[in-house]
Structure 1
């Protein structure tokens, strides 16, 4: 069975998008998702995105990381899906309902309200998530935020100097995080500007992470390091993050289509 796909990206965070509304898909196993994501023998991507019908929104979005694991949310993919949809939309995800609005400044996503309770991150046991009393070498006193998926954020003098490729997987798989964790290292450069690098759960180092930008901005705002609207600059480019008066996170940034094609599902174990 040949399956149509669209290759997309948001600031270099790239996706293979399949539309189950247009034609039935094979069973979405971990093996199938990771085979498609493989950059040497598959199409190659950070996340596989599957669109489907929804009874509570305009469409449903399922998200599979490059390791094949299904996750709750992806901010950059949400913008890509909104670009494909071509008009304002409510999108159902495993992390909750989000709203997308295309505009002149890019695509804005209402990511909902952040959560800070230890069991909402989740952590393995109760602790203060504002200043967590834990450390991994030079990375200490992080903050934790759930923005549809779990993030831990470390504020450092120079995020580029952190060996995130070494420390990222250690922190991601620490028993403190029973569902693993996305790891962010950030440097505040002004009241409205943050530099960020992300080790993404199930993916690794990534050029951009929309939920990471949201979580980091919220963590910095919560600590009083920045104002309520900031530009978060990742290796792939900037995202604008606002924590509005209603308590909701608004992320604005670009998305782009790279190319379209088809593949034979049997080539990827389906």
Structure 2
């Protein structure tokens, strides 16, 4: 079945949106792991860091489900959530929209400069909530470098380093992602604190590799930095692809703000011969 999609990015963190709202139940498209892996292949498919699938929802503008390119699912994606919010606000002309994800109902809005802000929910910091495999202090996990950990709906492990350029993200990232301490694997961050309001961030993304940026990883890194007493409540996060802003008061929801950019619309035919 042909699948219409939109390709977008947030500071180079690319994602695909498939809108299944209003589907005929008798002809409903099922998104599954195998299909997502074919679509996510950057050589033979579309290629993306995340896939966002929209469906009808009674108490929000849409329900959003997220997938990694390896076919695994995740509960949150800050970049793709901003893209979905932009899409729906463009459709309606509204200044805000509420989306339903596995993190709950998330309020999204845009400002006069085109930046999209998403309420990312309250971070979880208990060892069972991240989760880690054994009782541990999530401010200093029992790993070399004593990283901090939290959950933004997906697990995050943050190393604070003095020399970010010396870190081999592609070597260290997958080793930490799959460490036995993380039963659901983990996103991995390497952070240099530039000032109390500015960090430089490099990422190994669970199920994805090295992205140019990541909204949820930016949030996780700032949360862990604030918990460590290293950062103020509003932080500029500088990723390889550009900057976002993260705000957290230390108790409530995390707010993520940044740009999104539309790429193109197309149709995925999944090996079928396109019509001429």
TM-score normalised by L of structure 1: 0.93
Corresponding position of 1:13: 13
Corresponding position of 1:175: 180
- In 1, the alpha carbon distance for the partners of 2:28 and 2:214 equals 27
In the alignment, is the contact (CA less than 8 A) between 1:49 and 1:64 conserved in 2? yes
Corresponding position of 2:112: 104
- In 1, the alpha carbon distance for the partners of 2:269 and 2:248 equals 44
Greater displacement, 184-193 / 54-63: 54-63
In the alignment, is the contact (CA less than 8 A) between 1:10 and 1:255 conserved in 2? yes
Corresponding position of 1:113: 122
- In 2, the alpha carbon distance for the partners of 1:177 and 1:145 equals 12
- In 1, the alpha carbon distance for the partners of 2:202 and 2:105 equals 26
- In 2, the alpha carbon distance for the partners of 1:122 and 1:174 equals 12
- In 1, the alpha carbon distance for the partners of 2:250 and 2:138 equals 22
Trace 1:7-46 onto structure 2 (pairs within 5 A): 7-23=7-23, 25-46=28-49
Change (3 A) 1:245 1:177: closer
In the alignment, is the contact (CA less than 8 A) between 2:226 and 2:250 conserved in 1? no
1:200 aligns with 2:200: no
In the alignment, is the contact (CA less than 8 A) between 1:244 and 1:250 conserved in 2? no
- Whichever structure has more strand as a proportion of its residues is 1
Trace 1:73-92 onto structure 2 (pairs within 5 A): 73-86=76-89, 87=94, 88-92=96-100
- In 2, the alpha carbon distance for the partners of 1:266 and 1:22 equals 25
1:52 aligns with 2:60: no
- In 1, the alpha carbon distance for the partners of 2:207 and 2:261 equals 23
Change (3 A) 1:97 1:148: farther
- In 2, the alpha carbon distance for the partners of 1:143 and 1:69 equals 24
Corresponding position of 1:244: 249
Deviation at 1:7, TM superposition (A): 0.6
Corresponding position of 2:219: 214
* Cα RMSD (Å): 1.6
> What are the ranges of 5 or more consecutive residues in structure 2 without an aligned counterpart?
none
SS class of match (1:247): coil
- In 2, the alpha carbon distance for the partners of 1:182 and 1:3 equals 29
In the alignment, is the contact (CA less than 8 A) between 1:50 and 1:62 conserved in 2? yes
Deviation at 1:266, TM superposition (A): 5.2
Deviation at 1:256, TM superposition (A): 1.2
Q: Deviations over 1:38-87 (max 9, x none)?
A: 11111111111100112332211111101011111100011000110113
- In 1, the alpha carbon distance for the partners of 2:141 and 2:211 equals 25
Deviation at 1:91, TM superposition (A): 1.2
- In 1, the alpha carbon distance for the partners of 2:217 and 2:70 equals 18
TM-score normalised by L of structure 2: 0.91
Change (3 A) 1:47 1:253: same
SS class of match (1:73): coil
SS class of match (2:218): helix
Change (3 A) 1:155 1:129: same
- In 1, the alpha carbon distance for the partners of 2:51 and 2:257 equals 22
SS class of match (1:206): coil
- Aligned mate of 1:158, from 163, 174, 188: 163
